[in-house]
Amino acid sequence: MTDTTKQDELRKFLQTQLEELLEMSDEEILEGSDPEVLKIEGLAMIAAAKATLGSRRMAAAKTAMAIKKASTNPIMSPINIDEARAYLQAAANDSRITIAARSLGEMSDEDVIRIYNQLNKLRQDTNGSK
Partner 1 sequence: MSDETSLSKSEVEAALTQLSPADWKRIKIRAQTYSKALTYLTADDLVQEALICLLSGDRVWPRYARSVIVVINATHGIASNCREREQLGPIDHRVDISVLSQEYDEEVGTLVIPINEVTPERIAESRGDIESIERLVVNDEELQDVVLVWSLGIRGKDAAAELGWEMNKYEAARKRLTRLLESL
User: Site mask, partner 1, residues 32-71, x = CB under 8 A?
Assistant: xx-xx-xx-xxx-xx-xxx-xx--x---------------
Only segment of 4-12, 79-87, 88-96, 120-128 that touches partner 1 (CB under 8 A) = 4-12
Minimal distance in Å, beta carbon 15 to partner 1?
7
Quote the CA–CA distance of 72 and 38 in Å, as a whole number: 51
* Distance, CA of 118 to CA of 113 (rounded, Å): 9
Rule CB under 8 A: say whether 7 interacts with partner 1. Answer: yes
- Sign of torsion over alpha carbons 95, 101, 102, 103: positive
Give the whole-angstrom CA distance, residue 68 versus residue 75. 14
Site string for partner 1, 8-27 (x = CB under 8 A): -xx-xxxxxxxxxxxxx-x-
103: contact with partner 1 by CB under 8 A? no
Closest contact distance (angstroms) between CB of 37 and partner 1 is: 8
Please name which of 28, 117, 106, 115 lies closest in space to residue 74, comparing C-alpha atoms: 117
d(CA 61, CA 87): 39
Applying CB under 8 A, the residues found at the interface with partner 1 are 3, 6-7, 9-10, 12-24, 26, 28-33, 35-36, 38-39, 41-43, 45-46, 48-50, 52-53, 56
